[in-house]
Amino acid sequence: VGIRLSSLLNEVLVGLGIVVQSIILILSLTLNFNWGFFVQQVLNVGVDVPQAGIEYFLPNVHFSLQNFIYAMTIAMSSFIGIESIAQAAEETRKPHRWIPRANKLSIVFVLIFAMGLSIAGTGGVGAATLSSPANLNNPVTAMARAIPNVGSFLALIVAFTGFSLCYVSTNTGVIGVSRVVFSMGRFRLLPRWFYKVHKTFRTPVRAILIFGIIGAILAIPGDLPLVANLYNFGALLSYIMVNLSLIVLRNTDRDTYRAWKVPGEVSPVIRGKKFYLPPISILGMLSCLSIWLLIVVYHPAGRLLGASWLLV
């Protein structure tokens, strides 16, 4: 019951977000996009101004390139919640059918809107405007406001849409972490106390309460970059381990039935033994490791708090 209600709420709010973002994306590309300006912006990689909160690690590398590298680490936040799809598999009917489809659709939509809005914003209002102190925390609003005739109206809708999508991300995150903690409690990797299901909603109530409170405490200061740093540090570590685990399981647990497999697997023979190596998992592990190392370098808060979290 609980997961059904949460999923229904997510579907409604995400549907609203898709509609609003699609409108902004289409209008920005058709009414406020300049190809010449876009090419000029792309050739000038990164904003040519030092930004607060960035630790410029490479003294001989220009600010613009390091700002671009820093932006790559922040862009990781676009994938918040995708992993929660798999974590809800035990409460999904026909998970072998719907979980892969949901993952694929999520990846497609993330790519469309993350890339599309970035392109539209770069070719419409420019990177300098989007990264200015006035627009740094609400770049989509700046994009919407720049659309002729309807910009002021769309800017108002963006605020509510942003709130609704943040709520969806929060809800999805709590769904995911509560199921993981519940499962860890079942196998005694965490205290058995977490292995408790609500009588009515059939959800891991204790894990939801604990991590809901933790999330609320982190949100009180309103420091979005700090939360993003913490998320990126921990999420990338988990993504690295997931990709590595997939490679290991392909070779140590070959007989398990898999309804869906990562495509493009290669099978080299080394010293007479056949190994199964999914290139997508190898690429995912290496790319996540690269971005995680960049987070350690460029994010002092993420580096210190993330290291403290690992030690604890």
Q: What pLDDT digit, counting tens, does each position of 42-62 carry?
A: 887 766 777 776 777 777 777
Q: Rounded to an integer, what distance in angstroms lies between the CA atom of residue 140 and that of residue 156? A: 11
d(CA 178, CA 195): 10
Range of the structural domain that residue 174 is part of: 2-220
Query: Could you give the CA distance from residue 161 to residue 227 in angstroms, rounded to a whole number?
Result: 20
Q: Which pLDDT belongs to residue 286?
A: 93
Domain boundary among 220, 246, 278: 220
**Whether residue 248 sits in one domain with residue 135:** no
Do 33 and 105 belong together in one domain?
yes
- The DSSP bridge partners found for residue 273 are 270
Verify that 274 and 141 share a domain, yes or no: no
Say whether pLDDT at 130 is over 70: yes
Among 16-25, 73-82, 226-235, name the most confident range. Answer: 16-25
Collect all residues with Cβ–Cβ distance below 8 Å to 75 and sequence separation of at least 6.
114
167 with 252, same domain?
no
Same domain, 296 and 204: no
- Residue whose structure tokens are 């209600």: 5
* d(C-alpha 183, C-alpha 47), whole Å: 45
Q: Let me know whether 13 and 145 are in one domain.
A: yes
% of the chain beyond a pLDDT of 70:
97
Alpha-carbon gap, residue 242 to 235, rounded angstroms: 10
Q: How does pLDDT run across 23-41, given as a tens digit for each residue?
A: 999 999 999 899 998 988 8
Q: What is the mean pLDDT of residues 132-141?
A: 81
Task: Examine the domain organization and report whether 8 and 101 are in the same domain.
Answer: yes
Listed residues 182, 202, 220: the one ending a domain: 220
The pLDDT-based confidence of 238 (bands split at 50, 70, 90) is: confident
Distance between CA atoms of 205 and 197, rounded to whole angstroms?
6
Look at residue 23 in the predicted model and tell me its pLDDT. Answer: 92
Instruction: Tell me phi and psi for residue 150, to 5 degrees.
Output: -110, 5
Contact between 212 and 237 (Cβ < 8 Å): no
**DSSP string over 152-209:** HHHHHHHHHHHHHHHHHHHHHHHHHHHHHHHHHHHTTSS-GGG----TTT-S-HHHHH
pLDDT for the residue numbered 268: 86
Please check whether residues 208 and 252 belong to one and the same domain. Answer: no
Domain count along the chain: 2
The values of phi and psi at residue 266, to 5°, are -110, 155
What mean pLDDT do residues 66-73 have? 82
Residues 50 and 195 in one domain: yes
Q: What is the mean pLDDT of residues 161-175?
A: 82
Is 80 exceeded by the pLDDT of residue 287? yes
| Predicted confidence band of residue 1 (pLDDT cuts 50, 70, 90) | low
Question: Quick one: 41 and 123 in the same domain?
Answer: yes
Phi/psi at 309 (5° precision): -65, -40
Tokens of 39: 């090419």
Q: Which two tokens stand for residue 117?
A: 């809005």
For residues 106 and 231, membership in a common domain is answered with: no
Q: Is the domain of 210 the same as that of 293? A: no
- Where is the domain boundary, 220, 242, 264? 220
CA 174 to CA 169: how far, in whole Å? 9
The b-or-e profile of 53-92 (16+ CB within 10 A means b, else e) is: ebeeeeeeeebbebbebbbebeebbebbbbbbbbbbeebb
* Statement: residue 246 has pLDDT above 80: yes
